[in-house]
C-alpha cells in the first residue's frame, strides 16, 4: 500500500468518526473496520461524479446501511455534491446526510438500511446490467460492462431475503457482481458466536458463487486488491470475505460497544494522534487526498466521454437499438401505449382479472422492452408470462439467455421484490415486475415498502386476491393485505373489476415512474361492466352504476363491483335507487381534485363499502361496511362467497338496513372534513 492510499484510508476513517461525533449518534464501528475495503473499491470503480446517472458506471451498494458515514466520506472525496458542511449535518433534520443511505443523494445507487435488502438490490443491479449487455452490446460496441460492488455485514448475511437473492444470483451466474462480506464477528448482541456459527463460505459455494477470503482485512491491502482482480475473471458472482476488526483503531475495537454509539472524546484523540492527524481538528481532508480522488474522477469522466462517443457511432450503425437506448436513458415511455391496451364492452364474456392481466402483459411485452420480471414460481397461476417471452437465464442452461425478460424467481417472494428494486434502480427506464399470490406479498413487504420509499418503478402482480381463490383456504386467503398496502405511502394499490379497469391499472402504473404499484387480480371470472372505461378507471374511482336520486351508494373494488351492480339492480326493482362506486385505486383517487371526489361521495349519501377483505380503512370513504374481519375458509370459491352472504341478495339486504338507519339524518360525506 502506498502512503497516499494509507493517508486516504485514514482520512475516510476520521471523516466517519467526526460525522458520528458531530451528530452524537450513528455507527463508527463498521466504517473504521471497512475504510480500507471501501477505498479500494472506490479506486477500482469507474464512475463520473459529475454525471451520477451515467448508464455504464460501476454501481456500489452499502448493504449494511448503518455504516453510511463511511459512504458519505467516500462520496465527498469522490467529488459528488456533498460538502464538508453536509457531513457536519449528519443525521440532522433536512440534511443531505440522513441516518441511512437514501437514493436521493447523488452517488447513492439504492436506499439501504433494512438489513439484507442491499445485497439483493445489488443482485438486481447486476441482473439489469447483464440484460442491457445482452440486448445492446455488439462487436466493437461494449455498451454495457459495468460491475456492481456491494458490502454486506453479518446482519445481512443472517437475513433470509439475502439467502434467497444470493441463491438465485448463483443460479443466474451474475458474474459482474462482487460482494464483500465484512466478517467482523460482531453484531448488536455481541459476538456472532451467540447465534451465527454457520460456515458462510461453504454456503455461498453451495449457491454457486466464487468465494475468496482475505483473512487479514485490516492489513492485507494487496490481498483485497487481488481478490477484486480474481473476481473479475470469474464466471460466477463473487463473495470476498474480508475478516476485519470492528472499530479498528478505537480503544473499544473488536467489541459491540463500538457498533452503534459515538466514540468517546479521548478515544477520538488517541485515534487521530495514532493516525498522524491533529487531534484538535475535525473533518480534515489533506489536499493530496483530494487530488488523489480527483484523479479517479478524471478517469471516470474520460471513460464516460469515450462511452458517449461510442454510443454516437453505435446509434448510426444500429439506429433502432440506438434510438431505444436513447429513449430509455431519457426516461420516456414508448409512444401511444393507450392504443395497444385491450378495451371491453358489457357484451364481452366474464374473465378472471388475472387472465385479463395476461392479455395486457402479452401486449406490453413487445411494446415496452424495458418491462422485465417474472413470478415466484407461480407462473401458471399468476399468468405473467407473455407467450413469446424468453427466459432470462445463463445461456449455458439452454433455457434462455440474458436478453430474455422473463425471470424465474423461484419460491423467493422477498428476494424477488428486493431484486426488482435493484433492477429499477439500474436506470435505463427499467420497469420490473414480480408476481405471487396476494397473500404472499406479505412475505415481501420489507422490500415493497422500500420500493415506495425509493420511488422504484416496480409492479407487483398479486393474483388470487381474496377468499374467491377458494379451496386453498385461510392460509392462502388474504384478509389484511389490501389495508396494509394502502397504508404504505407512495404506493398505488389497484384492484380492477374488469377488463377496462385492468388496462387502466397497467396504464397508470406504467406512467407513474416514481410510484410502485400493486396490481391485485382475481382467480375467478368477473363480468365486464357496462359502466367502466379506461379513462374513468384511470381516475382511481368513479360511479360505475348511477341512479336517479340515489338514496345510498355502495363502494366496491375488484370482484365485488359486479356483485354490487347486481345488488343495485335487485334494489331498483324494489324502488330503492343506489349508486355503485368502483374504487380500484385509493392512491390515484385521493390525488384527484376535491370537487371531483365530492362528486363521487357527495354529502347526503350514505355509503356502504363492500370488499371481501378487512374493512379496516374503509371508514375513510364509507359510513358502513360489509367485508371480512375474520379469516376465511376452505371451499369452492362460489360456496365461500355464499357462506358469508357476499352475493347480490346479501348486499341488497344490508343496503336496506343502511338506508333505514340514515333516513332523516344529516349525512355528511366522509370526504368533507375539517383537516
Q: Is 548 a catalytic residue?
A: no
Q: Annotation-wise, does 274 bind a ligand?
A: no
Q: By CB under 8 A, name the one of 85, 313, 629, 645 that touches its own copies.
A: 629
CB 140 within 8 A of CB 51: no
Q: By CB under 5 A, name the one of 11, 47, 167, 184 that touches Ca ion.
A: 184
Burial class (CB in 10 A: 0-12, 13-18, 19+), 167: buried
Site for Ca ion in 131-160 (CB under 5 A): 153-154
Q: HEC states along 298-325?
A: HHHHHHHHHHHHHHHHHHHHCHHHHHHH
Site for its own copies in 410-439 (CB under 8 A): 410-412, 414-415, 439
Cα of first residue to Cα of last residue in the chain, in angstroms, is: 62
- Catalytic position from the list 413, 501, 566, 611: 413
CB 564 within 8 A of CB 601: no
C-alpha cell read off for 192: 456472532
Is residue 250 a contact point for its own copies (CB under 8 A)? Answer: no
Partner interacting with residue 489 (select from its own copies, Ca ion, none; CB below 5-8 Å by kind): its own copies
Q: By CB under 8 A, name the one of 84, 188, 350, 591 that touches its own copies.
A: 188
Instruction: Sketch the per residue contact string, 208 through 247, with its own copies: x for CB under 8 A, - otherwise.
Output: x---------------------------------------
CB of 113 to its own copies, least distance (A): 3
| Backbone CA torsion sign across 397, 402, 403, 406 | positive
CB 107 within 8 A of CB 99: no
Partner interacting with residue 184 (select from its own copies, Ca ion, none; CB below 5-8 Å by kind): Ca ion
**Nearer to its own copies (CB atom), residue 384 or residue 500:** 384
Burial class (CB in 10 A: 0-12, 13-18, 19+), 666: exposed
CB of 22 to Ca ion, least distance (A): 24
Nearest-angstrom CA–CA distance, 45 and 649: 66
Sheet holding 578-582, edge to edge: 542-545, 578-582, 552-556, 607-610, 624-626
Closest CA to 414 of 159, 198, 195: 159
Is residue 488 a contact point for its own copies (CB under 8 A)? Answer: yes
Please give the size of the binding site for Ca ion, defined by CB under 5 A. 5
Site for its own copies in 385-404 (CB under 8 A): 391, 393, 397, 399
**Nearer to its own copies (CB atom), residue 91 or residue 272:** 91
CB of 667 to its own copies, least distance (A): 9
Q: By CB under 8 A, name the one of 72, 207, 277, 296 that touches its own copies.
A: 207
Site for its own copies in 303-322 (CB under 8 A): none
Site for its own copies in 544-583 (CB under 8 A): none
Q: By CB under 8 A, name the one of 449, 457, 464, 523 that touches its own copies.
A: 449
**Nearer to its own copies (CB atom), residue 43 or residue 92:** 92
Nearest-angstrom CA–CA distance, 256 and 485: 36
Q: Annotation-wise, does 155 bind a ligand?
A: yes
Q: Annotation-wise, does 259 bind a ligand?
A: yes
Per-state percent for the chain, helix, strand, coil, to nearest 5? 45, 15, 40
Q: How many CB atoms lie within 10 A of CB 165?
A: 31
Q: Annotation-wise, does 115 bind a ligand?
A: yes
Strand partners, 93: none
CB 344 within 8 A of CB 499: yes
Annotated binding site for Mg(2+): 154, 184, 186
Which residue numbers are catalytic?
A: 413
Amino acid at each position: 500500500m502506498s502512503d497516499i492510499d494509507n493517508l486516504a484510508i485514514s482520512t475516510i476513517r476520521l471523516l466517519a468518526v467526526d460525522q458520528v461525533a458531530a451528530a452524537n449518534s450513528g455507527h463508527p464501528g463498521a466504517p473504521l473496520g471497512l475504510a480500507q475495503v471501501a477505498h479500494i473499491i472506490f479506486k477500482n470503480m469507474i464512475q463520473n461524479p459529475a454525471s451520477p446517472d451515467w448508464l455504464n458506471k460501476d454501481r456500489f451498494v452499502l448493504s449494511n446501511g448503518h455504516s453510511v458515514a463511511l459512504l458519505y466520506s467516500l462520496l465527498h472525496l469522490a467529488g459528488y455534491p456533498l460538502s464538508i458542511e453536509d457531513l457536519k449535518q449528519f443525521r440532522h433534520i433536512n440534511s443531505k446526510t440522513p441516518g441511512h443511505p437514501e437514493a436521493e443523494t447523488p452517488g447513492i445507487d439504492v436506499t439501504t438500511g433494512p438489513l439484507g435488502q442491499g445485497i439483493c438490490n445489488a443482485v438486481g443491479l447486476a441482473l439489469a446490467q447483464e440484460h442491457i449487455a445482452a440486448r445492446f452490446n455488439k462487436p466493437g460496441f461494449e455498451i454495457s460492462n459495468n460491475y456492481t460492488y456491494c458490502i454486506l455485514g453479518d446482519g445481512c448475511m443472517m437475513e433470509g431475503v439475502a439467502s434467497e437473492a444470493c441463491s438465485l444470483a448463483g443460479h443466474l451466474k451474475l458474474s459482474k457482481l462482487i460482494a464483500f462480506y465484512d466478517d467482523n464477528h460482531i453484531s448488536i448482541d455481541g459476538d456472532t458466536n451467540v447465534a451465527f456459527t454457520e460456515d458462510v463460505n461453504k454456503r455461498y459455494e453451495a449457491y454457486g458463487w466464487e468465494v475468496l477470503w482475505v483473512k487479514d482485512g485490516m492489513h492485507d491491502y494487496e490481498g483485497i486488491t487481488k481478490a477484486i482482480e480474481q473476481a473479475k475473471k470469474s464466471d460466477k458472482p463473487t463473495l470476498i470475505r474480508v475478516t476485519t476488526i470492528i472499530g479498528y483503531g478505537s480503544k473499544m475495537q473488536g467489541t459491540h460497544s463500538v457498533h452503534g454509539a459515538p466514540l468517546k472524546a479521548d478515544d477520538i484523540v488517541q485515534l487521530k494522534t495514532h493516525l498522524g492527524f491533529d487531534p484538535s481538528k475535525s473533518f480534515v481532508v489533506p489536499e493530496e487526498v483530494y487530488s488523489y480522488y480527483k484523479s479517479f474522477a478524471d478517469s471516470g469522466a474520460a471513460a464516460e466521454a469515450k462511452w458517449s462517443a461510442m454510443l454516437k457511432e453505435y446509434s448510426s450503425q444500429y439506429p433502432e437499438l440506438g434510438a431505444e437506448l436513447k429513449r430509455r436513458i431519457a426516461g420516456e415511455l414508448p409512444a401511444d401505449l393507450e392504443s395497444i391496451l385491450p378495451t371491453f364492452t358489457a357484451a364481452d364474456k366474464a374473465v378472471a382479472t388475472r387472465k385479463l392481466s395476461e392479455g395486457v402483459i402479452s401486449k406490453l411485452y413487445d411494446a415496452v422492452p424495458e418491462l422485465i420480471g417474472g413470478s415466484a414460481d407461480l407462473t401458471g397461476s399468476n399468468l405473467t408470462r407473455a407467450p413469446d417471452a424468453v427466459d432470462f437465464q445463463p445461456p449455458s442452461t439452454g433455457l434462455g439467455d440474458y436478453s430474455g425478460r422473463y425471470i424465474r424467481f423461484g419460491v423467493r417472494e422477498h428476494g424477488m421484490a428486493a431484486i426488482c428494486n435493484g433492477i429499477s434502480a439500474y436506470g435505463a427506464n427499467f420497469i420490473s415486475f414480480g408476481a405471487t399470490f396476494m397473500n404472499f406479498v406479505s412475505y415481501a413487504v420489507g422490500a415493497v415498502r422500500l420500493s415506495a420509499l425509493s420511488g422504484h418503478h416496480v409492479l407487483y402482480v398479486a393474483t388470487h386476491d381474496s377468499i374467491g381463490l377458494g379451496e386453498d383456504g385461510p392460509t392462502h386467503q388474504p384478509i389484511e393485505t389490501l389495508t396494509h398496502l394502502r397504508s404504505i405511502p407512495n404506493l398505488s394499490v389497484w384492484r380492477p373489476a374488469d377488463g377496462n379497469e385492468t388496462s387502466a391499472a397497467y396504464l397508470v402504473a406504467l406512467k407513474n415512474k416514481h410510484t410502485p404499484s400493486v396490481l391485485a387480480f382475481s382467480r375467478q371470472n368477473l363480468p365486464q361492466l357496462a359502466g367502466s372505461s379506461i379513462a374513468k378507471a384511470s381516475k382511481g374511482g368513479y360511479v360505475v352504476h348511477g341512479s336517479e336520486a340515489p338514496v345510498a351508494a355502495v363502494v366496491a373494488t375488484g370482484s365485488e363491483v359486479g356483485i354490487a351492480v347486481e345488488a343495485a339492480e335487485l334494489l331498483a326493482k324494489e324502488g330503492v335507487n343506489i349508486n355503485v362506486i368502483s374504487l380500484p385505486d385509493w392512491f390515484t383517487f385521493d390525488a384527484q381534485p376535491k370537487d371531483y371526489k365530492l362528486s363521487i361521495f357527495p354529502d347526503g349519501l350514505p355509503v356502504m363499502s363492500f370488499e371481501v377483505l378487512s374493512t379496516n380503512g374503509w371508514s375513510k370513504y364509507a359510513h358502513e361496511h360489509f367485508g371480512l374481519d375474520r379469516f376465511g375458509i376452505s371451499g369452492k370459491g362460489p360456496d365461500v362467497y355464499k357462506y358469508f352472504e357476499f352475493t347480490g341478495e346479501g348486499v341488497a339486504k344490508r343496503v336496506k338496513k343502511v338506508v333505514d338507519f340514515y333516513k332523516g339524518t344529516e349525512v355528511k360525506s366522509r370526504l368533507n372534513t375539517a383537516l
